[in-house]
Amino acid sequence: MVHNNRVEPRTEIPAVKLPAALQSALWATRPDLLLARCRQRFGDTFTLRFAGLGDVLFVSAPEDVRAVFTAPPSVVLAGRGNAFLRAVVGRHSLLTLDGEAHVRQRKLLVPPFHGERIATYAKVIVEATERSLARWPREGAFETLREMQAITLEVIVRAVLGVEDPSERRRFEALFNDFAAIGNSAALLLPPLRVDLGPRSPWGRVLAVRARTDQALFRELDRRRALAASAPETEGARRDVLALLLSARDDQGQAMSDRELRDELVTLLLAGHETTATSLAWTMDLLSKHPEVLAKARDEVSRVVGRESPDASAIAKLPYLDGVVRESLRLRPVIPNVARIIEGELHVAGATLRTGAGVAPCAWLTHTRPENWPAPNAFDPERWTRDKIDPHAFYPFGGGARRCIGMAFALYEMKTILATVLAKRTFVAREGEGARVARRGITLTPSGDGRVTLTAPT
């Protein structure tokens, strides 16, 4: 039984016996090895104990994942699980809210990321990719992660803030690049390190970047509100996410305050930029190691898109590339698990979790569960058109009331970037051992920044 943030030893739920500090250290440095070892020893369900956080029940069988994702949001609290992010994203962030306040913010934030809205960002995504391709070397070793980050950063700045002026765009990119790096700060994951010992200390640097970002965002909000007052028609025609958020009203007719807007903008930046870039770096890593898959994906792109820039209708006609992206998110989910803190009681995996206990559906394990995935470690894009997939066996974007609001946008962005790249460039795996799993803050990235070897353009 689990209560008061402790999982009582039970025969059904095994617990890792190492000291909490050692478990935390392994989790921070080699989470893939720790999870593989736990699965080998304990199977689908086990408890890890983290220093300062307590016990977390890891579940990976789809029926247990379903139990967590379909439980009432008032029982499985994600905002409390993300509380460590509050110092950066703020208390109005979708990530850190629970209850009514979360429902309100989510209703305001979801519309810009749905349906035909997404297709309006195609031009921005293709332009950012082409700008990046122009910087790639002709051939030789190439770190995919850096350029994927540059592309997704430009996409966020233009699609979310709507900043088009090149020098303004570069100013925001530089600022957001520093801000996103906060996500990798040890002080973010370990609150005891949050001591401001001046601008050169780790936490002092975080506070300085946060202050600069806030200042720039509040100034931009003032500018946009002034434009909306002086030129309502021009502003009303804008398609960026900020324009929608500025005009959004909740059920009571209330607009978002500047503080709320600031918190949601940095949330979109932190949640949407690094995750998408890292997923793309993993996709290129996997493609480089599977030349037959790469050849098929290129072939599909050249048949459907040719050497033109892909538009929204072309992206919808690439089922093999869609399988490539899903297969890569299956084998390398950049966020290996999500977390919920229990309020009340939840029955899952034969245990009763009570207030304060943590539970973590673990995509990293579910995604290669042999019972759900034939040949689980094979990179097989065709399985997505051939096999019936249990929706609770695949959740790189989390699930339930907290599922990623950027999912459709991210899938579309990944396919558009890959189609643009594959139309023009090809690459092979770097020599020697393949990339291993490295940690960067909360995401799992390919070691060596996803290095591949580019071959000369044909």
Give me the residues that bind ligand HEM (CB under 6 A), please.
78, 94-95, 106, 267-268, 271-272, 275-276, 279, 334-335, 338, 396-399, 402-406, 409-410
- Say how far apart CA 446 and CA 433 lie, in whole Å: 12
Bridging pattern class, strands 345-348 and 351-354:
antiparallel
Residue closer to ligand HEM by CB (options 271, 321) is 271
- The distance of closest approach from Cβ of residue 160 to ligand HEM in the complex, given in angstroms and rounded to an integer, is 7
Q: Which amino acid is at 298?
A: R
Residue closer to ligand HEM by CB (options 13, 161) is 161
- The distance of closest approach from Cβ of residue 108 to ligand HEM in the complex, given in angstroms and rounded to an integer, is 11
Residue closer to ligand HEM by CB (options 275, 288) is 275
DSSP string, 316-352: TT-HHHHHHHHHHHHH--SS----EEESSEEEETTEE
Q: Measuring CA to CA, which residue among 235, 247, 315, 241 is closest to residue 271? A: 241
Residue closer to ligand HEM by CB (options 16, 444) is 444
- The distance of closest approach from Cβ of residue 275 to ligand HEM in the complex, given in angstroms and rounded to an integer, is 4
Residue 360's beta-bridge partner residues? 58
- The distance of closest approach from Cβ of residue 404 to ligand HEM in the complex, given in angstroms and rounded to an integer, is 3
- The distance of closest approach from Cβ of residue 397 to ligand HEM in the complex, given in angstroms and rounded to an integer, is 5
- The distance of closest approach from Cβ of residue 388 to ligand HEM in the complex, given in angstroms and rounded to an integer, is 23
DSSP string, 374-427: SSTTS--TTHHHHS---GGG--TT--GGG--TTHHHHHHHHHHHHHHHHHH-EE
Q: Could you tell me how far CA 436 lies from the centroid of its own chain?
A: 19
Query: Could you give the count of Cα atoms lying within 13 Å of 202 in the half-sphere of its Cβ?
Result: 15
Within 8 A by CB and 6+ apart from 365, the residues are 35, 39, 44, 58, 60
- Say how far apart CA 254 and CA 232 lie, in whole Å: 19
- The distance of closest approach from Cβ of residue 360 to ligand HEM in the complex, given in angstroms and rounded to an integer, is 10
Residue closer to ligand HEM by CB (options 276, 416) is 276
- Say how far apart CA 141 and CA 430 lie, in whole Å: 7
- The distance of closest approach from Cβ of residue 398 to ligand HEM in the complex, given in angstroms and rounded to an integer, is 2
Q: Measuring CA to CA, which residue among 167, 166, 161, 171 is closest to residue 272? A: 161
Residue closer to ligand HEM by CB (options 320, 397) is 397
Residue closer to ligand HEM by CB (options 88, 338) is 338
- The helix (run of H) or strand (run of E) holding residue 453 is strand 451-455
- Say how far apart CA 64 and CA 361 lie, in whole Å: 8
Residue pair 456/140 in contact (Cβ under 8 Å)? The answer is no
- The distance of closest approach from Cβ of residue 106 to ligand HEM in the complex, given in angstroms and rounded to an integer, is 5
Residue closer to ligand HEM by CB (options 144, 267) is 267
- Say how far apart CA 25 and CA 22 lie, in whole Å: 5
- The distance of closest approach from Cβ of residue 267 to ligand HEM in the complex, given in angstroms and rounded to an integer, is 5
For residue 257 the two structure tokens come to 């305050």
Residue closer to ligand HEM by CB (options 381, 398) is 398
Residue closer to ligand HEM by CB (options 59, 268) is 268
